[in-house]
Structure 1
Amino acid sequence: MKKMINQVDNVVKEQLQGVAKAHPELEVNLDPMYIVRGDRKAAKVALISGGGSGHEPMHGGFVGKGMLDGACPGEMFTSPTPDQMYECGQKVDSGEGVLFLVKNYTGDVLNFETAVELLHAEGIKVQSTLVDDDVAVKDSLYTAGRRGVATTVLAEKILGAAAEEGYDLDKISELAKRIANRGRSLGVALAACTVPAAGKPSFELNDQEIEFGVGIHGEPGIERRAFTDGDSITTDMMSEILDNQPYERTVRRWDNDSGEWQDETWVTESLQAGDRVIVLVNNLGATPQSELYMVYRKVAEILEPLDISIERNLIGSYCTSLDMQGVSITLLKVDDEMLSLYDTPVNTPAMRWGC
C-alpha cells in the first residue's frame, strides 16, 4: 500500500488538521470530531450530515454558506458516534432546530437516532431524514434497505439553501422527504479501493470484470459483469435507474411534541416523459474527469428521446470511495422550488457558485 499518510490510526485526525489550516473560515473540533461553519447565521434551521470518512469531499467539504452547518466524520468507512452528532448539534443550534441528513447505513441510522433523542432531552427541536437512493440492491452488508449515496450531495445543497431562506423545521423536513423519494443512483467499479487499515484492495477484479451496482464502501452490487466499453456500461446503468419501480419502505421520524419515534410509509417516485432532473456524474475516486464527461454525454443521449429534461448537472468528485476506480450516476427529479433553491449562492470548500 502506497498512500500519502503517516500512521493509519491518525489518518482522519490529520486530515481534519489539514482542513482547519486550509479553511480558517471553518471551526474544526478534534475531540469529538466535527466541522461547523464559522459564520453561523442566527435564527435558522441548522443542517447537519455525516458518515464514515473516505467519501470526501462529502460531508466536510460541503460545510459553509448555502449547504451544511455541520458535518460529523467517523473513522474510515465507520459511522460517527452519537457524542459527535450531539455536540455538533448543540454547537450549531440557533433555537430554530436541527435537521440531521442521514445516509441509510445501519450504524449511521442508530447513532443519529441516539443523537436525536439526546438533543430533544436538552430541549432542542430536532428531526432526521433518511437518504436511501441506491437502486442496486434492496439490502446490503451495511444496511437494512437501500444504501444512501450521492443524492445526499444534492439534498445538502437544496436543503442548505432552504435553511438560508428561512424554512422552518417542519417545512424543510417535508422538502427533505420529497428529495429522498425522488433521487436514484447506481455505481460501478472498475477497480476496488484500499482502506488504510486493511492495506490491500477491498475486493479483486480481473482486467475483464466490473462490479455493477457497487456500494461506496466497496460492497457488492447486482453482479460481477464482463467489462465492455463506456457507452455500454453507461447504458446498462441508466436502464437500471430508469426501469426501477417505485419502492415502498417504512421510515422512522421523530415527533418533537410527543418525544417519540413514529413510523411513516415513504414511496419513491418514478421517472416519466416530461420530468425534469438534475444529473450528477460522480467520480468514485480514481476516474479521470475526461471519462466522466464521456459518461455524461451518453446519459444526455439516453434521456433526450425519453423527453426527460436535464435542468442542471454536476460532473466531478462529490461522493467518493477513497481511491476506487469507478463512477456513479444520480438522477434527481426536480420541480421549480428545488431548482430555485439549487441555484442560490453556495460557498463551501468543495462547492461554490454565485458568491
Structure 2
Amino acid sequence: MAEPFYASKTEYVDRSLLGFARDQAGVVELNTDPIYVRAVDPDPRRQVGLLSGGGSGHEPMHAGLVGRGMLDAAAPGRVFASPHNRQVYEGSRAVAGPAGVLHIVKNYTGDRINFGIAAERLRHDGIPVARVLVDDDVATESQQTATGRRGTGATVLVEKLLGAAADQGAALDELVALGETIVGRSRSIAVASLAQTSPVTGKPGFELEEGELEYGVGIHGERAQHTIQRPPLEELVGRMVDDVVNHLPAGTAVFLFVNGLGGTTYIELYNVFAEAVDALATRDITVERSLVGPYTPALDMKGFSITMTMLEPDVESRPSGGWTALFDAPAWTAGYRK
C-alpha cells in the first residue's frame, strides 16, 4: 500500500490540526495544551456552549464543524481514539456560556468515560453541563452488543440542528430535550467494499474478496456482522433504506444524509442518493431536506452510509418551522457552510 503523506509518523494528527487552524484562521483557533479547536465568532445570542469530539480520521467531523451555527469547540483524539478528558474539560471551560455547556457524545466506551470525567470536573467548578448521547447505528442494535448502537452519521445532523437552536438562545435543558428527541428519531447503516488504510502500517484494516461488501461496517473500521456478495446498487440501497426505516418511528417525511466514508466519489454518492430517494418514494416517504458528502468518513474507506431522521408533523407545523427551519438556518464552519 502507498505510504501516507505525513510530516511525522507520530505527530501527524497535531500537524494536521495546526495546518487546519492556519487555513481556517477566520473560523477557528487552535489551543495546543491540551489540544482543542474553538470557534472565533460564535453567535452572541448563545447561552450554552456546544462541544463535541472523538477520534481523528472522521474529518470534517468534528473540528471541521466548529463555527457559527454549529459547534463552539471540538476535542480531537488520536486516529479512532477518544480525546483525553482534560481536552474535553479545558475546551468546555473555554466555551461555556452563561447557561453552561452541552456535550454531544457518540456512543463509544472511551468517549463516554472521558466526557463523563470532564463533566464531573465541570460540575465541581459550578459550570452547568449536560450530555446528548448519539447512538444511531442499527448494525449494532442487538442484545449481543453490550454497548448498544454506535454513534455515527446522525451526529452531524444533531450538531447542525442543536447549533441552530443554540443560536436562538435555547436553554441547556431545552437543548438536551431537543437533542434526545432527534437522536431517538435518527438511524444509520453503512457498507464498505474496501477497508480504511492504517496510518501506521499502510495496510488495509481488513480484507474483502472481490465482489464482497461489509454490510454494517463501523466508522472505526469495525467489521460487520455480515459480509455479503455485492448486489446491484438499487437492491443494496433498497435493503439499507428498509433497515433504517424499520428502526425508525412511523412517519412520512425525513431528513436524508448520504455520507461518504472517505474513498467514495461524489458521482457514486449522488447515485446512492438518487436510489435512496426513489426507494423512500415507494414507501410513501418524502425527503424534506438532504445532505450528501463525506462528512463522517473513516479515513479512506471505500463505502457509504445512509442516515435518516424521521420528522414529527406536529413539530414541523409550528410557526417556528420546526426542525426544517433549524436545518435551513445559516452555518459557517470549515466543513459545512449554509
Q: Please give the per-residue CA displacement for 1:270-291, whole angstroms capped at 9, x wherever unaligned.
A: 234xx21110000000111111
Residue matched to 1:260: none
Contact (CA 8 Å) 1:105, 1:143: kept in 2 or not? no
Matched, 1:324 2:301: yes
Cα contact 1:194–1:324 (8 A) shared by 2: yes
Residues 279 and 313 in structure 1, CA contact (< 8 A), matched pair in contact too: yes
**Residue number in structure 1 paired with 2:42:** 40
Q: Find the counterpart in structure 2 of residue 12 from structure 1.
A: 13
- Does the residue aligned with 1:306 lie in a helix, a strand or coil? coil
Give SS of 2:68's match: coil
Aligned to 2:126: 123
Q: Please state how far the C-alpha of 1:140 moved relative to its aligned partner.
A: 11
The one-letter amino acid paired with 1:180 is V
SS in 2 for 1:195: coil
Query: Map of 1:190-339 to 2, 5 A cutoff?
Result: 190-244=193-247, 269-272=248-251, 275-335=252-312, 336=316, 337-339=322-324
Q: Deviations over 1:195-231 (max 9, x none)?
A: 2124311100111111000000111223000112222
Deviation per CA, 1:260-319, whole angstroms, max 9, x where unpaired? xxxxxxxxx5234xx211100000001111111111111111111322110011111100
**Cα shift at 1:139:** 6.1
1:139 & 1:200 partners in 2: Cα distance?
A: 31
- Tell me if structure 2 keeps the 8 A contact 1:185–1:330: yes
Percent identical residues? 42
For residue 169 of structure 1, report the CA deviation from its aligned partner.
Answer: 0.3
Change (3 A) 1:160 1:129: same
Which residue number corresponds to residue 319 of structure 2? none
The equivalent of 1:28 in structure 2 is 30
TM-score (norm 2): 0.93
Contact 1:140 1:147 (C-alpha < 8 Å) held by counterparts? no
Alignment match of 2:135 (pick from 124, 132, 136): 132
Cα pair 1:140 1:219 within 8 Å, conserved: no
**CA distance in structure 2 between the partners assigned to 1:183 and 1:40 by the alignment:** 27
1:170 is matched with 173
- 1:111 matched residue in structure 2: 114
Aligned partner of 2:15: which letter?
E
State the SS of the aligned residue for 2:7. coil
Deviation above 4 Å: which 4+ runs of structure 1? 139-143
Structure 2's unaligned 5+ residue stretches are: 317-321
Unaligned runs of 5+ in 1: 245-268
Equivalent pair of 1:16/1:30 in contact (CA under 8 Å): no
Deviation at 1:342, TM superposition (A): 1.0
Size of the aligned set, in residue pairs, is: 327
Alignment partners' CA distance in 2, 1:48 and 1:147:
19
Cα distance, 1:6 vs. partner?
A: 2.4
1:348 has 2:327 as partner: no
